[in-house]
């Protein structure tokens, strides 16, 4: 292999799936991580390893990364994409949904960073891409805990970027708005779901995750001394 390893969490659908396919098409070996391994295996990507991993399981995540690195060499791009959006009125929402979002969206990102950060620092090369959201920059009434988790991603990314920049390691934040993904499947509050669908219709629909994947590849393939610190992308008609 002449190109380095790219690791993608949450790779079974949406932006994770699109990024896995874009990087594979560009010639990068990939490690795909998600809970639905049969879907990832159906992609049949060249030079790709698929592992059934829940990002909340730090040991399993690290073990999968080490296994792939033994075959393809050090991870040069880690995309911490896995996340869940349980959107609802905070006063009536099941607190178990809070726990799931906090564990997956914050601890899961930290586990991915942990798996590669020390080695990237030692090699003085590498790129970490963390998935946030427009909801990590603005707050929405029925996104309370979700917004909190994405603000967390912004905060730790800023901190770790400052820590790793002297070591030539990049930390990039992706902050998409309404993207075609499985987010609607996780909304159990009927009022929130109806409002979400109405807003999508109002702005003329969501945009393809392939556009986000292309932006990640573009940012990654810039010279190592160039960093797009944050990329915010929404449908043109999305006004908030």
Write the burial class of residue 101 (CB in 10 Å: 0-12 exposed, 13-18 middle, 19+ buried): buried
Query: What are the φ and ψ backbone dihedral angles of 15, each rounded to 5 degrees?
Result: -65, -35
Which helix (H) or strand (E) covers residue 128, if one does?
A: strand 127-131
Cα(217)–Cα(23) distance, rounded to whole angstroms?
7
**Known catalytic membership, residue 146:** yes
Neighbouring C-beta atoms of residue 23, cutoff 10 Å: 25
Residue at token pair 């963390």: 130
Enumerate helices (H) and strands (E) in the chain, giving the number of each. 8, 7
What contacts 112, CB < 8 A, 6 or more positions away?
Answer: 7, 9, 55, 61, 78, 80, 82, 128
Catalytic annotation, pick one of 28, 72, 114, 146: 146
Cα(181)–Cα(229) distance, rounded to whole angstroms?
23
Active-site positions?
146
């Amino acid at each position: 292999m002449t190109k380095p390893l790219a690791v993608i969490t949450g790779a079974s659908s949406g932006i994770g799936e699109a990024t896995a396919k874009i990087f594979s098409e560009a010639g990068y070996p990939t490690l795909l991580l998600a809970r639905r391994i049969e879907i990832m295996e159906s992609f049949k990507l060249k030079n790709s390893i698929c592992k059934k991993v829940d990002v909340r399981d730090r040991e399993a995540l690290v073990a999968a990364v080490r296994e792939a690195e033994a075959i393809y060499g050090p991870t040069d791009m880690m995309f911490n994409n896995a996340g869940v959006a349980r959107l609802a009125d905070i006063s009536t929402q099941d607190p178990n949904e809070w726990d799931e979002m906090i564990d997956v969206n914050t601890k899961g990102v930290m586990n991915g960073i942990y798996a590669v950060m020390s080695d990237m620092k030692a090699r003085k090369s590498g790129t970490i891409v963390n998935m946030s959201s427009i909801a990590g920059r603005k707050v929405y009434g029925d996104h309370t805990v979700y917004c909190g988790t994405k603000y967390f991603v912004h905060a730790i990314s800023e901190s770790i970027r400052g820590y790793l920049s002297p070591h030539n390691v990049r930390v990039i934040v992706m902050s998409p708005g309404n993207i075609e993904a499985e987010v609607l499947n996780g909304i159990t509050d009927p009022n929130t779901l109806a409002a979400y669908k109405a807003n999508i219709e109002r702005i003329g629909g969501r945009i393809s995750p392939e556009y986000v994947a292309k932006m990640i590849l573009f940012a990654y393939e810039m010279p190592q001394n160039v960093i797009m610190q944050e990329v915010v992308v929404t449908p043109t008609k999305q006004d908030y």
